[in-house]
Structure 1
Amino acid sequence: MSGDALDLRPGQSVELLKELHILTREGRINQDSRRKLKQVLHLYGFIEKLLKELPDSDAGPTLADHGAGKSYLGFILYDLYFKQLGKGTIYGVETRAELVDKSRALAARLGFDRMKFLNISAAAASQDVALPDHIDVVTALHACDTATDDAIDFGLRKHARHLVLVPCCQAELAASLRQNKALALSRTPLAELWRHPLHTREMGSQLTNVLRCLYLEACGYQVTVTELVGWEHSMKNELILARWTGQRKRAPADRMRALLGEFGLEALEAIRYPALKLGS
Protein backbone atom coordinates (compact mmCIF):
# COMPACT_ATOMS: atom_id res chain seq x y z
CA MET A 1 0.00 0.00 0.00
CA SER A 2 1.43 3.42 -0.93
CA GLY A 3 1.97 6.35 1.40
CA ASP A 4 -0.56 8.34 -0.64
CA ALA A 5 -3.22 5.71 0.00
CA LEU A 6 -2.47 5.95 3.72
CA ASP A 7 -2.65 9.78 3.72
CA LEU A 8 0.87 10.02 5.17
CA ARG A 9 2.82 13.26 5.44
CA PRO A 10 5.71 13.85 3.01
CA GLY A 11 8.83 12.06 4.24
CA GLN A 12 6.96 10.06 6.88
CA SER A 13 8.60 6.74 7.70
CA VAL A 14 6.52 3.70 6.80
CA GLU A 15 9.03 1.59 8.72
CA LEU A 16 8.30 3.57 11.90
CA LEU A 17 4.57 2.92 11.49
CA LYS A 18 5.32 -0.78 11.17
CA GLU A 19 7.43 -0.67 14.33
CA LEU A 20 4.54 1.03 16.13
CA HIS A 21 2.21 -1.70 14.80
CA ILE A 22 0.02 0.89 13.12
CA LEU A 23 0.89 -0.86 9.86
CA THR A 24 1.38 -4.59 9.41
CA ARG A 25 4.68 -5.90 8.05
CA GLU A 26 3.01 -5.97 4.63
CA GLY A 27 2.12 -2.29 4.95
CA ARG A 28 -1.58 -2.85 5.52
CA ILE A 29 -3.75 -1.01 8.02
CA ASN A 30 -7.02 -1.91 9.74
CA GLN A 31 -9.83 0.51 10.52
CA ASP A 32 -8.90 0.93 14.19
CA SER A 33 -5.27 1.74 13.34
CA ARG A 34 -6.42 4.13 10.61
CA ARG A 35 -8.49 6.05 13.15
CA LYS A 36 -5.54 6.16 15.54
CA LEU A 37 -3.20 7.39 12.81
CA LYS A 38 -5.73 10.02 11.72
CA GLN A 39 -5.97 11.35 15.28
CA VAL A 40 -2.22 11.52 15.80
CA LEU A 41 -1.52 13.14 12.43
CA HIS A 42 -4.27 15.69 12.97
CA LEU A 43 -2.83 16.54 16.38
CA TYR A 44 0.63 16.73 14.81
CA GLY A 45 -0.71 19.43 12.49
CA PHE A 46 -1.63 21.60 15.50
CA ILE A 47 1.67 20.97 17.30
CA GLU A 48 3.84 21.58 14.24
CA LYS A 49 2.47 25.13 13.97
CA LEU A 50 3.27 25.78 17.64
CA LEU A 51 6.80 24.41 17.30
CA LYS A 52 7.43 26.70 14.33
CA GLU A 53 6.38 29.71 16.43
CA LEU A 54 9.04 29.08 19.07
CA PRO A 55 12.10 31.34 19.07
CA ASP A 56 15.18 29.69 17.61
CA SER A 57 17.78 28.37 20.05
CA ASP A 58 20.99 26.34 19.84
CA ALA A 59 19.46 23.45 21.80
CA GLY A 60 16.18 23.46 19.88
CA PRO A 61 12.64 23.00 21.20
CA THR A 62 11.72 20.83 24.16
CA LEU A 63 8.46 18.91 24.35
CA ALA A 64 7.08 16.76 27.18
CA ASP A 65 4.38 14.23 26.34
CA HIS A 66 2.42 13.12 29.42
CA GLY A 67 0.65 9.79 29.56
CA ALA A 68 2.76 8.86 26.54
CA GLY A 69 1.63 5.22 26.42
CA LYS A 70 3.33 3.60 23.42
CA SER A 71 4.55 7.09 22.41
CA TYR A 72 2.82 7.16 19.03
CA LEU A 73 2.65 10.94 19.20
CA GLY A 74 6.26 11.38 20.33
CA PHE A 75 7.70 9.11 17.66
CA ILE A 76 5.69 10.73 14.89
CA LEU A 77 6.66 14.22 16.10
CA TYR A 78 10.30 13.19 16.09
CA ASP A 79 10.05 11.52 12.67
CA LEU A 80 8.29 14.42 10.98
CA TYR A 81 9.78 17.43 12.75
CA PHE A 82 12.62 16.93 15.22
CA LYS A 83 14.63 14.56 12.98
CA GLN A 84 14.79 17.06 10.11
CA LEU A 85 15.40 19.96 12.50
CA GLY A 86 18.51 18.24 13.83
CA LYS A 87 18.03 19.52 17.37
CA GLY A 88 15.48 19.59 20.17
CA THR A 89 14.37 16.93 22.65
CA ILE A 90 11.15 15.01 23.29
CA TYR A 91 10.46 13.64 26.77
CA GLY A 92 7.90 10.85 27.12
CA VAL A 93 6.34 10.56 30.60
CA GLU A 94 4.64 7.24 31.32
CA THR A 95 3.87 5.20 34.46
CA ARG A 96 3.88 1.74 32.84
CA ALA A 97 7.47 0.48 32.96
CA GLU A 98 7.03 -2.06 30.17
CA LEU A 99 5.90 0.65 27.73
CA VAL A 100 8.81 2.88 28.72
CA ASP A 101 11.27 0.03 28.13
CA LYS A 102 9.79 -0.70 24.70
CA SER A 103 9.88 2.98 23.73
CA ARG A 104 13.51 3.29 24.80
CA ALA A 105 14.43 0.19 22.78
CA LEU A 106 12.58 1.46 19.70
CA ALA A 107 14.18 4.91 19.90
CA ALA A 108 17.62 3.28 20.14
CA ARG A 109 16.87 1.01 17.18
CA LEU A 110 15.74 3.95 15.04
CA GLY A 111 18.55 6.27 16.11
CA PHE A 112 16.10 8.75 17.66
CA ASP A 113 18.68 9.77 20.23
CA ARG A 114 16.94 12.96 21.34
CA MET A 115 13.93 11.06 22.66
CA LYS A 116 14.01 10.45 26.42
CA PHE A 117 11.54 8.30 28.34
CA LEU A 118 10.79 8.59 32.04
CA ASN A 119 8.98 5.95 34.07
CA ILE A 120 7.17 8.39 36.38
CA SER A 121 3.76 9.97 36.81
CA ALA A 122 2.80 13.36 35.44
CA ALA A 123 2.52 14.56 39.04
CA ALA A 124 6.11 13.54 39.83
CA ALA A 125 7.60 14.80 36.57
CA SER A 126 7.81 18.46 37.57
CA GLN A 127 10.24 17.53 40.37
CA ASP A 128 12.37 15.08 38.37
CA VAL A 129 15.95 16.25 37.74
CA ALA A 130 16.01 14.42 34.39
CA LEU A 131 13.76 17.14 32.99
CA PRO A 132 14.96 20.71 32.31
CA ASP A 133 13.62 23.71 34.21
CA HIS A 134 11.84 24.97 31.09
CA ILE A 135 9.74 22.98 28.61
CA ASP A 136 8.46 24.72 25.49
CA VAL A 137 5.46 22.49 24.69
CA VAL A 138 3.49 20.19 26.98
CA THR A 139 1.15 17.60 25.48
CA ALA A 140 -1.28 15.16 27.07
CA LEU A 141 -3.24 13.00 24.63
CA HIS A 142 -6.00 11.11 26.46
CA ALA A 143 -4.24 11.39 29.83
CA CYS A 144 -6.85 9.86 32.10
CA ASP A 145 -8.82 11.80 34.73
CA THR A 146 -6.54 13.96 36.92
CA ALA A 147 -3.41 13.16 34.87
CA THR A 148 -4.50 16.03 32.62
CA ASP A 149 -4.55 18.34 35.66
CA ASP A 150 -1.07 17.08 36.58
CA ALA A 151 0.10 17.88 33.04
CA ILE A 152 -1.31 21.41 33.43
CA ASP A 153 0.49 21.80 36.75
CA PHE A 154 3.69 20.55 35.10
CA GLY A 155 3.27 23.09 32.29
CA LEU A 156 2.79 25.94 34.77
CA ARG A 157 5.85 24.92 36.78
CA LYS A 158 7.96 24.53 33.64
CA HIS A 159 6.82 27.88 32.19
CA ALA A 160 5.54 26.16 29.04
CA ARG A 161 4.84 28.37 26.05
CA HIS A 162 2.15 26.01 24.80
CA LEU A 163 -0.06 23.25 26.22
CA VAL A 164 -1.92 20.81 23.97
CA LEU A 165 -4.47 18.73 25.88
CA VAL A 166 -7.02 16.09 24.90
CA PRO A 167 -8.71 15.27 28.24
CA CYS A 168 -10.10 11.83 28.99
CA CYS A 169 -12.24 10.11 31.66
CA GLN A 170 -12.83 13.13 33.89
CA ALA A 171 -14.11 11.24 36.94
CA GLU A 172 -12.95 13.24 39.96
CA LEU A 173 -15.36 16.13 39.70
CA ALA A 174 -18.30 13.86 38.79
CA ALA A 175 -17.69 11.96 42.03
CA SER A 176 -17.86 15.23 43.96
CA LEU A 177 -21.12 16.14 42.20
CA ARG A 178 -22.61 12.78 43.19
CA GLN A 179 -21.52 13.26 46.79
CA ASN A 180 -23.20 16.66 47.03
CA LYS A 181 -26.24 15.79 44.90
CA ALA A 182 -28.89 15.65 47.66
CA LEU A 183 -27.91 19.04 49.06
CA ALA A 184 -27.66 20.57 45.60
CA LEU A 185 -31.11 19.33 44.54
CA SER A 186 -32.66 21.08 47.53
CA ARG A 187 -30.68 24.26 46.92
CA THR A 188 -30.85 24.99 43.20
CA PRO A 189 -32.80 23.81 40.14
CA LEU A 190 -29.47 23.71 38.27
CA ALA A 191 -28.83 20.40 40.05
CA GLU A 192 -31.30 18.82 37.63
CA LEU A 193 -28.42 19.00 35.15
CA TRP A 194 -26.72 16.17 37.02
CA ARG A 195 -29.57 14.37 38.80
CA HIS A 196 -29.37 11.26 36.59
CA PRO A 197 -26.13 9.21 36.74
CA LEU A 198 -25.38 9.55 33.02
CA HIS A 199 -25.85 13.31 33.22
CA THR A 200 -23.62 13.43 36.30
CA ARG A 201 -20.79 11.90 34.32
CA GLU A 202 -21.31 14.19 31.34
CA MET A 203 -21.74 17.28 33.50
CA GLY A 204 -18.62 16.38 35.44
CA SER A 205 -16.65 16.07 32.22
CA GLN A 206 -17.94 19.36 30.82
CA LEU A 207 -17.40 21.28 34.05
CA THR A 208 -13.91 19.84 34.52
CA ASN A 209 -12.78 21.11 31.14
CA VAL A 210 -14.45 24.52 31.60
CA LEU A 211 -12.60 24.94 34.90
CA ARG A 212 -9.31 23.88 33.30
CA CYS A 213 -9.71 26.52 30.59
CA LEU A 214 -10.52 29.25 33.09
CA TYR A 215 -7.56 28.16 35.22
CA LEU A 216 -5.16 28.43 32.29
CA GLU A 217 -6.56 31.87 31.40
CA ALA A 218 -6.16 33.00 35.00
CA CYS A 219 -2.55 31.81 34.91
CA GLY A 220 -1.62 33.81 31.83
CA TYR A 221 -2.62 31.69 28.82
CA GLN A 222 -4.82 32.36 25.81
CA VAL A 223 -7.06 29.32 25.40
CA THR A 224 -8.74 27.84 22.33
CA VAL A 225 -11.09 24.85 22.48
CA THR A 226 -11.83 22.86 19.35
CA GLU A 227 -12.40 19.32 18.04
CA LEU A 228 -9.46 16.99 17.54
CA VAL A 229 -11.14 14.90 14.82
CA GLY A 230 -14.71 14.12 13.83
CA TRP A 231 -16.90 12.50 16.48
CA GLU A 232 -17.15 9.41 14.31
CA HIS A 233 -13.47 8.71 15.04
CA SER A 234 -13.36 9.33 18.79
CA MET A 235 -15.72 10.32 21.60
CA LYS A 236 -12.77 11.77 23.54
CA ASN A 237 -12.53 14.61 21.11
CA GLU A 238 -12.08 17.93 22.94
CA LEU A 239 -8.78 19.65 22.17
CA ILE A 240 -7.58 22.43 24.47
CA LEU A 241 -4.79 24.65 23.13
CA ALA A 242 -3.16 27.12 25.52
CA ARG A 243 -0.67 29.78 24.46
CA TRP A 244 1.40 31.71 27.02
CA THR A 245 0.76 35.47 27.04
CA GLY A 246 2.36 36.36 30.36
CA GLN A 247 -0.73 38.26 31.50
CA ARG A 248 -2.50 36.72 34.47
CA LYS A 249 -6.19 37.63 34.55
CA ARG A 250 -8.36 38.15 37.60
CA ALA A 251 -11.72 37.80 35.82
CA PRO A 252 -11.26 34.09 34.88
CA ALA A 253 -10.11 33.38 38.44
CA ASP A 254 -13.22 35.08 39.81
CA ARG A 255 -15.47 33.10 37.45
CA MET A 256 -13.72 29.89 38.48
CA ARG A 257 -14.38 30.53 42.16
CA ALA A 258 -18.00 31.42 41.39
CA LEU A 259 -18.45 28.14 39.51
CA LEU A 260 -16.80 26.11 42.26
CA GLY A 261 -19.12 27.76 44.78
CA GLU A 262 -22.22 27.22 42.64
CA PHE A 263 -21.53 23.50 42.41
CA GLY A 264 -20.33 23.06 45.99
CA LEU A 265 -16.80 22.25 44.91
CA GLU A 266 -14.80 24.85 46.82
CA ALA A 267 -12.54 22.18 48.35
CA LEU A 268 -11.10 21.42 44.91
CA GLU A 269 -9.44 24.82 44.58
CA ALA A 270 -6.51 24.04 46.87
CA ILE A 271 -6.09 20.55 45.39
CA ARG A 272 -6.41 21.16 41.65
CA TYR A 273 -5.93 24.90 41.13
CA PRO A 274 -3.15 25.95 43.55
CA ALA A 275 -1.78 28.66 41.26
CA LEU A 276 -5.01 30.65 41.65
CA LYS A 277 -3.89 31.95 45.03
CA LEU A 278 -0.78 33.46 43.42
CA GLY A 279 -3.00 35.83 41.49
CA SER A 280 -5.45 36.59 44.29
Structure 2
Amino acid sequence: MGSARRGSQAVKRPPEEELGLQPGQSLELLKELHILTREGRINQDSRRKLKQVHHLVQFIEKLLQEVPAEEGHPTLADHGAGKSYLGFILYDLFFRPLGRGHIYGIETRQELVERSRALARRLGFARMSFLNIAAADAAQAAEMPEQVDVVTALHACDTATDDAIAFALQKQARFLVLVPCCQAEVASVLRETKALALARTPLSELWRHPIHTRELGSQITNVLRCLYLEAMGYQVTVTELVGWEHSMKNELILARRTGQRKRAAAERLRAILAEFGIQALEERRFPGLPAHP
Protein backbone atom coordinates (compact mmCIF):
# COMPACT_ATOMS: atom_id res chain seq x y z
CA MET A 1 0.00 0.00 0.00
CA GLY A 2 2.82 2.41 0.94
CA SER A 3 4.64 1.84 -2.34
CA ALA A 4 1.42 2.39 -4.32
CA ARG A 5 0.93 5.73 -2.56
CA ARG A 6 4.52 6.74 -3.26
CA GLY A 7 4.08 5.73 -6.93
CA SER A 8 0.92 7.78 -7.22
CA GLN A 9 2.63 10.81 -5.68
CA ALA A 10 5.61 10.41 -8.03
CA VAL A 11 3.50 10.76 -11.17
CA LYS A 12 1.63 13.83 -9.99
CA ARG A 13 2.55 16.73 -12.26
CA PRO A 14 2.74 20.44 -11.40
CA PRO A 15 -0.29 22.57 -12.39
CA GLU A 16 1.61 24.32 -15.23
CA GLU A 17 2.52 20.97 -16.78
CA GLU A 18 -1.04 19.71 -16.36
CA LEU A 19 -2.26 22.77 -18.27
CA GLY A 20 0.36 22.39 -21.02
CA LEU A 21 2.07 25.72 -20.24
CA GLN A 22 5.65 26.82 -20.86
CA PRO A 23 8.00 27.55 -17.92
CA GLY A 24 7.41 31.05 -16.57
CA GLN A 25 4.31 31.61 -18.69
CA SER A 26 1.93 34.22 -17.32
CA LEU A 27 -1.28 32.69 -15.96
CA GLU A 28 -2.80 36.17 -15.79
CA LEU A 29 -2.23 36.69 -19.53
CA LEU A 30 -3.85 33.36 -20.39
CA LYS A 31 -6.85 34.25 -18.24
CA GLU A 32 -7.14 37.62 -19.98
CA LEU A 33 -7.03 35.83 -23.34
CA HIS A 34 -9.76 33.46 -22.05
CA ILE A 35 -7.53 30.45 -22.67
CA LEU A 36 -7.71 29.73 -18.95
CA THR A 37 -10.82 30.29 -16.88
CA ARG A 38 -10.68 32.64 -13.88
CA GLU A 39 -10.25 29.51 -11.75
CA GLY A 40 -7.19 28.52 -13.80
CA ARG A 41 -8.82 25.66 -15.70
CA ILE A 42 -8.60 24.90 -19.43
CA ASN A 43 -11.12 23.20 -21.73
CA GLN A 44 -10.27 20.94 -24.66
CA ASP A 45 -10.80 23.61 -27.33
CA SER A 46 -8.53 26.08 -25.54
CA ARG A 47 -5.93 23.38 -24.97
CA ARG A 48 -5.91 22.64 -28.71
CA LYS A 49 -5.60 26.34 -29.55
CA LEU A 50 -2.78 26.81 -27.04
CA LYS A 51 -0.93 23.80 -28.44
CA GLN A 52 -1.07 25.31 -31.94
CA VAL A 53 0.21 28.68 -30.74
CA HIS A 54 2.99 27.12 -28.63
CA HIS A 55 4.12 25.01 -31.58
CA LEU A 56 4.25 28.08 -33.81
CA VAL A 57 6.07 30.07 -31.11
CA GLN A 58 8.79 27.41 -31.08
CA PHE A 59 9.37 27.92 -34.80
CA ILE A 60 9.39 31.70 -34.46
CA GLU A 61 11.67 31.84 -31.40
CA LYS A 62 14.41 30.01 -33.32
CA LEU A 63 14.20 32.62 -36.08
CA LEU A 64 14.15 35.55 -33.66
CA GLN A 65 17.33 34.26 -32.05
CA GLU A 66 19.09 34.66 -35.41
CA VAL A 67 18.31 38.39 -35.60
CA PRO A 68 21.40 40.49 -34.71
CA ALA A 69 21.30 41.82 -31.14
CA GLU A 70 20.76 45.48 -31.99
CA GLU A 71 18.75 48.13 -30.18
CA GLY A 72 15.09 48.03 -31.23
CA HIS A 73 15.41 44.55 -32.72
CA PRO A 74 13.98 42.03 -33.28
CA THR A 75 10.81 43.45 -34.81
CA LEU A 76 7.83 41.30 -35.69
CA ALA A 77 4.65 42.16 -37.59
CA ASP A 78 1.67 39.85 -37.06
CA HIS A 79 -0.87 40.18 -39.88
CA GLY A 80 -4.53 39.36 -39.28
CA ALA A 81 -3.71 39.44 -35.57
CA GLY A 82 -7.30 38.98 -34.39
CA LYS A 83 -7.22 38.81 -30.58
CA SER A 84 -3.40 38.68 -30.80
CA TYR A 85 -2.99 35.31 -29.07
CA LEU A 86 0.26 34.78 -30.97
CA GLY A 87 1.64 38.26 -30.33
CA PHE A 88 0.87 38.29 -26.60
CA ILE A 89 2.25 34.80 -26.00
CA LEU A 90 5.39 35.58 -28.02
CA TYR A 91 5.91 38.76 -26.03
CA ASP A 92 5.39 36.95 -22.73
CA LEU A 93 7.74 34.07 -23.53
CA PHE A 94 10.42 35.78 -25.65
CA PHE A 95 10.29 39.58 -25.96
CA ARG A 96 9.60 40.35 -22.30
CA PRO A 97 12.60 38.40 -20.91
CA LEU A 98 14.77 39.61 -23.81
CA GLY A 99 14.20 43.25 -22.81
CA ARG A 100 14.22 44.67 -26.34
CA GLY A 101 12.41 44.35 -29.64
CA HIS A 102 8.87 45.23 -30.70
CA ILE A 103 5.72 43.43 -31.86
CA TYR A 104 3.22 45.07 -34.24
CA GLY A 105 -0.26 43.57 -34.47
CA ILE A 106 -2.13 44.39 -37.69
CA GLU A 107 -5.90 43.94 -37.62
CA THR A 108 -8.88 45.50 -39.44
CA ARG A 109 -11.47 45.04 -36.67
CA GLN A 110 -11.26 48.12 -34.49
CA GLU A 111 -12.85 46.52 -31.41
CA LEU A 112 -10.15 43.82 -31.34
CA VAL A 113 -7.40 46.43 -31.76
CA GLU A 114 -8.77 48.50 -28.86
CA ARG A 115 -9.08 45.40 -26.68
CA SER A 116 -5.47 44.39 -27.43
CA ARG A 117 -4.19 47.90 -26.70
CA ALA A 118 -5.98 47.92 -23.35
CA LEU A 119 -4.66 44.47 -22.43
CA ALA A 120 -1.07 45.44 -23.32
CA ARG A 121 -1.39 48.49 -21.04
CA ARG A 122 -2.77 46.40 -18.16
CA LEU A 123 0.03 43.85 -18.43
CA GLY A 124 2.79 46.42 -18.96
CA PHE A 125 3.70 45.03 -22.38
CA ALA A 126 5.08 48.38 -23.51
CA ARG A 127 6.80 47.17 -26.68
CA MET A 128 3.60 46.09 -28.39
CA SER A 129 1.69 48.23 -30.90
CA PHE A 130 -1.64 47.49 -32.55
CA LEU A 131 -2.61 49.02 -35.87
CA ASN A 132 -6.23 49.26 -37.03
CA ILE A 133 -5.35 48.93 -40.70
CA ALA A 134 -5.61 46.53 -43.63
CA ALA A 135 -2.58 44.34 -44.29
CA ALA A 136 -2.36 45.82 -47.80
CA ASP A 137 -1.84 49.31 -46.33
CA ALA A 138 0.35 48.42 -43.36
CA ALA A 139 3.72 48.94 -45.06
CA GLN A 140 2.94 52.65 -45.49
CA ALA A 141 1.83 53.16 -41.88
CA ALA A 142 3.87 55.81 -40.04
CA GLU A 143 4.12 53.56 -36.95
CA MET A 144 5.99 50.90 -38.90
CA PRO A 145 9.81 50.83 -38.95
CA GLU A 146 11.68 50.76 -42.25
CA GLN A 147 12.62 47.11 -41.77
CA VAL A 148 10.73 44.31 -40.03
CA ASP A 149 12.68 41.22 -39.08
CA VAL A 150 9.87 38.65 -38.96
CA VAL A 151 6.44 38.69 -40.61
CA THR A 152 3.77 36.28 -39.42
CA ALA A 153 0.26 35.54 -40.64
CA LEU A 154 -1.57 32.84 -38.69
CA HIS A 155 -4.79 31.86 -40.47
CA ALA A 156 -4.96 35.23 -42.26
CA CYS A 157 -7.92 34.66 -44.55
CA ASP A 158 -7.73 34.40 -48.34
CA THR A 159 -5.63 37.21 -49.89
CA ALA A 160 -4.52 38.62 -46.51
CA THR A 161 -1.65 36.13 -46.71
CA ASP A 162 -0.66 37.61 -50.09
CA ASP A 163 -0.80 41.08 -48.52
CA ALA A 164 1.48 39.86 -45.73
CA ILE A 165 3.95 38.58 -48.34
CA ALA A 166 3.85 41.92 -50.17
CA PHE A 167 4.44 43.71 -46.85
CA ALA A 168 7.40 41.44 -46.07
CA LEU A 169 8.99 42.15 -49.45
CA GLN A 170 8.61 45.91 -48.96
CA LYS A 171 10.06 45.72 -45.45
CA GLN A 172 12.90 43.37 -46.46
CA ALA A 173 11.85 40.87 -43.83
CA ARG A 174 14.46 38.33 -42.82
CA PHE A 175 11.84 35.66 -42.20
CA LEU A 176 8.19 34.87 -42.98
CA VAL A 177 6.03 32.44 -41.01
CA LEU A 178 2.71 31.82 -42.76
CA VAL A 179 -0.25 29.53 -42.06
CA PRO A 180 -2.60 30.25 -44.98
CA CYS A 181 -6.36 30.00 -44.65
CA CYS A 182 -9.44 30.04 -46.93
CA GLN A 183 -7.56 30.48 -50.20
CA ALA A 184 -10.46 31.46 -52.48
CA GLU A 185 -9.07 33.83 -55.12
CA VAL A 186 -7.49 31.24 -57.45
CA ALA A 187 -10.56 29.01 -57.17
CA SER A 188 -12.79 31.90 -58.26
CA VAL A 189 -10.60 32.53 -61.33
CA LEU A 190 -10.61 28.80 -62.15
CA ARG A 191 -14.42 28.83 -62.04
CA GLU A 192 -14.55 31.80 -64.43
CA THR A 193 -12.41 30.03 -67.03
CA LYS A 194 -13.73 26.49 -66.49
CA ALA A 195 -15.66 26.18 -69.76
CA LEU A 196 -12.65 27.23 -71.82
CA ALA A 197 -10.35 24.94 -69.84
CA LEU A 198 -12.62 21.91 -70.34
CA ALA A 199 -12.29 22.34 -74.09
CA ARG A 200 -8.54 23.00 -73.93
CA THR A 201 -7.02 20.35 -71.65
CA PRO A 202 -7.99 17.10 -69.87
CA LEU A 203 -6.24 18.51 -66.78
CA SER A 204 -9.37 20.61 -66.25
CA GLU A 205 -11.01 17.47 -64.85
CA LEU A 206 -8.98 18.28 -61.74
CA TRP A 207 -11.30 21.23 -61.07
CA ARG A 208 -14.52 20.36 -62.95
CA HIS A 209 -16.47 19.65 -59.75
CA PRO A 210 -16.94 22.56 -57.32
CA ILE A 211 -15.36 20.81 -54.32
CA HIS A 212 -12.30 19.99 -56.43
CA THR A 213 -12.16 23.58 -57.67
CA ARG A 214 -11.95 24.77 -54.07
CA GLU A 215 -9.35 22.20 -53.02
CA LEU A 216 -7.18 22.56 -56.11
CA GLY A 217 -7.40 26.34 -55.92
CA SER A 218 -6.12 26.20 -52.35
CA GLN A 219 -3.22 23.93 -53.32
CA ILE A 220 -2.25 26.02 -56.35
CA THR A 221 -2.39 29.22 -54.28
CA ASN A 222 0.20 27.99 -51.80
CA VAL A 223 2.45 26.51 -54.50
CA LEU A 224 2.43 29.88 -56.31
CA ARG A 225 3.22 31.72 -53.07
CA CYS A 226 6.23 29.49 -52.44
CA LEU A 227 7.53 29.96 -55.98
CA TYR A 228 7.03 33.71 -55.70
CA LEU A 229 9.04 33.89 -52.50
CA GLU A 230 11.84 31.84 -54.09
CA ALA A 231 11.79 34.09 -57.13
CA MET A 232 12.08 37.14 -54.86
CA GLY A 233 15.09 35.89 -52.92
CA TYR A 234 13.85 33.57 -50.18
CA GLN A 235 14.58 29.97 -49.26
CA VAL A 236 11.26 28.24 -48.57
CA THR A 237 10.32 25.26 -46.41
CA VAL A 238 6.79 23.84 -46.19
CA THR A 239 5.76 21.63 -43.29
CA GLU A 240 2.88 20.86 -40.91
CA LEU A 241 2.02 23.19 -38.06
CA VAL A 242 0.39 20.53 -35.86
CA GLY A 243 -1.21 17.13 -36.46
CA TRP A 244 -4.22 17.06 -38.78
CA GLU A 245 -6.40 15.99 -35.87
CA HIS A 246 -6.01 19.51 -34.44
CA SER A 247 -6.61 21.65 -37.53
CA MET A 248 -7.28 21.16 -41.24
CA LYS A 249 -5.64 24.54 -41.93
CA ASN A 250 -2.30 23.01 -41.15
CA GLU A 251 0.23 24.10 -43.79
CA LEU A 252 3.15 26.08 -42.42
CA ILE A 253 5.28 28.07 -44.89
CA LEU A 254 8.66 29.23 -43.57
CA ALA A 255 10.75 31.59 -45.69
CA ARG A 256 14.28 32.84 -45.04
CA ARG A 257 15.72 35.76 -47.02
CA THR A 258 18.88 34.87 -48.93
CA GLY A 259 18.82 37.71 -51.45
CA GLN A 260 19.32 35.20 -54.29
CA ARG A 261 16.40 35.65 -56.67
CA LYS A 262 15.65 32.46 -58.60
CA ARG A 263 14.74 33.02 -62.23
CA ALA A 264 13.79 29.35 -62.57
CA ALA A 265 11.14 29.77 -59.85
CA ALA A 266 9.70 32.78 -61.70
CA GLU A 267 9.50 30.76 -64.91
CA ARG A 268 7.80 27.86 -63.13
CA LEU A 269 5.31 30.27 -61.57
CA ARG A 270 4.45 31.79 -64.97
CA ALA A 271 4.17 28.31 -66.52
CA ILE A 272 1.65 27.23 -63.85
CA LEU A 273 -0.38 30.41 -64.35
CA ALA A 274 -0.49 29.68 -68.10
CA GLU A 275 -1.30 25.99 -67.67
CA PHE A 276 -4.34 26.78 -65.55
CA GLY A 277 -5.39 29.87 -67.52
CA ILE A 278 -4.97 32.27 -64.60
CA GLN A 279 -2.28 34.60 -66.02
CA ALA A 280 -4.34 37.61 -64.90
CA LEU A 281 -3.11 36.98 -61.35
CA GLU A 282 0.54 37.75 -62.14
CA GLU A 283 0.22 41.54 -62.13
CA ARG A 284 -2.10 41.55 -59.12
CA ARG A 285 -0.37 39.02 -56.85
CA PHE A 286 3.16 38.50 -58.14
CA PRO A 287 4.66 41.88 -59.09
CA GLY A 288 8.39 42.34 -59.50
CA LEU A 289 9.16 38.85 -60.81
CA PRO A 290 12.52 38.49 -62.58
CA ALA A 291 12.08 39.27 -66.25
CA HIS A 292 11.83 36.62 -68.94
CA PRO A 293 15.27 35.54 -70.21
How does the TM-score come out when normalised to structure 2? 0.94
1:63 maps onto 2:71 in alignment: no
The runs of 5 or more residues in structure 1 that have no matched partner are none
Deviations 1:105-133 (A, max 9, x none): 00000000000000001000011111011
Native 8 Å contact 1:62 1:88 kept in 2: yes
Aligned to 2:25: 12
Contact 1:23 1:29 in 2 (8 A): yes
Given candidates 87, 102, 107, the residue that maps to 1:94 is: 107
Q: 1:45 to 1:158 in 2, by over 3 A?
A: same
Q: CA RMSD in A?
A: 1.1
1:275 Cα offset (Å): 2.0
Give me the whole-angstrom Cα distance separating, in 2, the residues matched to 1:59 and 1:239: 27
Amino acid at match of 1:51: L
In structure 2, distance between residues paired with 1:25 and 1:116: 26
1:193-250 Cα shifts (integer Å, max 9, x gaps): 1111000000000000000000000000000000000011001000000000010010
Of 184, 188, 191, the residue aligned with 1:171 is 184
Identity %: 74
In the TM superposition, residue 279 of structure 1 has moved relative to its aligned partner by: 8.1
Quick one: which of 172, 185, 203 aligns to 1:190?
203
CA distance in 1, matches of 2:120, 2:159: 28
The equivalent of 2:143 in structure 1 is: 130
Number of corresponding residues: 280
Distance 1:89 1:67 in 2: 17
CA–CA separation in structure 1 for the residues paired with 2:161 and 2:257: 18
Deviation of residue 60 (structure 1)?
2.1
> Residue in 2 aligned with 1:206?
219
Look up the SS of the partner of 1:56 in the other structure: coil
Distance of 2:68 and 2:19 partners within structure 1: 33
1:45 aligns with 2:45: no
Assess if the C-alpha contact under 8 Å between 1:248 and 1:279 holds in 2: no
Compute the TM-score of the two structures, normalised by the length of structure 1.
0.98
**Deviation (angstroms), 1:254:** 0.2
Deviation digits for residues 62-99 of structure 1 (CA, Å, limit 9, x no counterpart):
00000000000000000000000000000000000000
Q: Where do 4+ consecutive residues of structure 1 move more than 6 Å?
A: none
Contact 1:170 1:208 in 2 (8 A): yes
- Alpha-carbon contact 1:63-1:90 (below 8 Å) kept: yes
Q: Give the whole-Å Cα distance in 1 for the aligned partners of 2:146 and 2:267.
A: 30
Instruction: Give the alignment of 1:1-280 within 5 angstroms.
Output: 2-277=15-290
Deviates further, 27-36 or 156-165:
27-36
Cα deviation, residue 30, structure 1? 1.0
